[in-house]
Amino acid sequence: MPLDLDSYVSGFVDGEGCFCVSFQPSVRHALGWEVRPSFSVSQNADRAQVLHVLQQRWGCGSIRPDRSDNTLKFEVRNLSELAGAVLPHFEKYPLVSAKQVDFDLFKEICQRMQRGEHRTASGFGKIVEAAMRMNSSGKRKYSSSEILNSLTVR
Amino acid sequence: MPLDLDSYVSGFVDGEGCFCVSFQPSVRHALGWEVRPSFSVSQNADRAQVLHVLQQRWGCGSIRPDRSDNTLKFEVRNLSELAGAVLPHFEKYPLVSAKQVDFDLFKEICQRMQRGEHRTASGFGKIVEAAMRMNSSGKRKYSSSEILNSLTVR
């Protein structure tokens, strides 16, 4: 069978996937904010086969029902799994659309986090700046200045 | 580059594509109804690169703005182009999800039309029956009985 499943996954994700970096106020984190990178793909429950292909192929991620509608969501939030499975996939099988720009920023953020840069105010600032350039059509809960002006710098 | 663009296209279509067969009352057609198969993929205008890949790769189809929102739609409606480019692609690079069931029905309908079966009441009936089993989550303008009970049988 000539179908290349890795390329297929990239095509599917180009349409349906989301590289997302969100920020949450957090008393558990030194700077007062947590950065949360995640990769997710949602699909109608009655044709969610590809989500299971993703989970099996990458050996990570969860598949859960979305509260809001009749969809299932495959999600990877663990940084080691993002760096170990998700990033290498899209380095080898890149996206054809402009969503590749989001991937490049997502990769930059994950790599900065792997180096621990999110634990310093200046590193966190660079992560916020990169995240704000992602998914330009989406809405953000907190603006760049709301986050950066409220960092707890000790 | 290891990316296989044909497999990528199938993955993209698995998420974003639509195999559709609609019916319209038509005084120009002997039976009083026209059957219209179409393949389409819509995408946000700012990342519509894959639509152009499809058009170039298959050498057919149109790309037009969707009136309702800021999307572009790639569409193939011509039966010869459907049979010559779209069907062979998905025979060689099949869909992984249950959307493959829609493709199989779509293919059956296109092949019946190529044999001219839609010009007889019994052939048209078989096409209506196959179409009604497609895209079960969608809404249909006309029911099977509305169409079949109003065929102009001469």
Distance set, CA A49 to CA B68, B98, B142 (Å)? 30, 7, 30
Q: Residue B136 pLDDT > 80, yes or no?
A: no
Q: What percent of chain B is predicted at pLDDT more than 90?
A: 82
Has residue B131 got a pLDDT over 60? Answer: yes
Distance from CA of A49 to the nearest CA of B (A): 5
- In this complex, which of B2, B15, B98 lies closest to A93 when CB atoms are compared? B2
Nearest beta carbon to residue B49 from set A9, A92, A98: A98
Give mean pLDDT, residues B128-148.
87
Alpha carbons A123 and A110: distance in angstroms, whole number: 12
B6: which chain A residues are within 8 Å (Cβ-Cβ)? 2, 7
Task: Give B137's pLDDT tier (boundaries 50, 70, 90).
Answer: low
Kindly determine whether residue A14 and residue B8, on different chains, have CB atoms separated by under 8 Å. yes
Scanning every residue of chain B, which has its alpha carbon at the shortest distance from the alpha carbon of A102? B47
Backbone angles phi, psi at B57, to 5 degrees: -65, -40
Whether residue B1 has pLDDT greater than 60:
no
Would you list the domain boundaries of chain B?
A: 5-148
Please state, for a pLDDT cut of 70, what percent of chain B lies above it.
97
pLDDT given at position B66: 86
Q: Which of B12, B49, B53, B69 to mutate to test the interface with A (most CBs of A within 10 A)?
A: B12
Interchain proximity A46–B15, CB inside 8 Å: no
Instruction: Give the rounded distance of the alpha carbon of B151 from its chain centre.
Output: 22
The ipTM (two decimal places) reads 0.90
Are B77 and B66 in contact, with CB atoms under 8 Å apart?
no
Chain A residue numbers touching B92 (CB-CB < 8 A): 2-3
pLDDT band at B79 (very low <50, low <70, confident <90, very high): very high
Runs of H (alpha helix) within chain A? 5-16, 49-58, 79-81, 87-92, 99-114, 121-132, 144-148
Least confident of A68-72, B78-82, B128-132: A68-72
What average pLDDT score do residues B53-72 get?
93
Query: pTM here?
Result: 0.91
Fold of the domain spanning B5-148: Endonuclease I-creI (3.10.28)
CB nearest A7 (choices: B11, B46, B53): B11
| Residue B152 burial (10 A CB sphere; 0-12, 13-18, 19+) | exposed
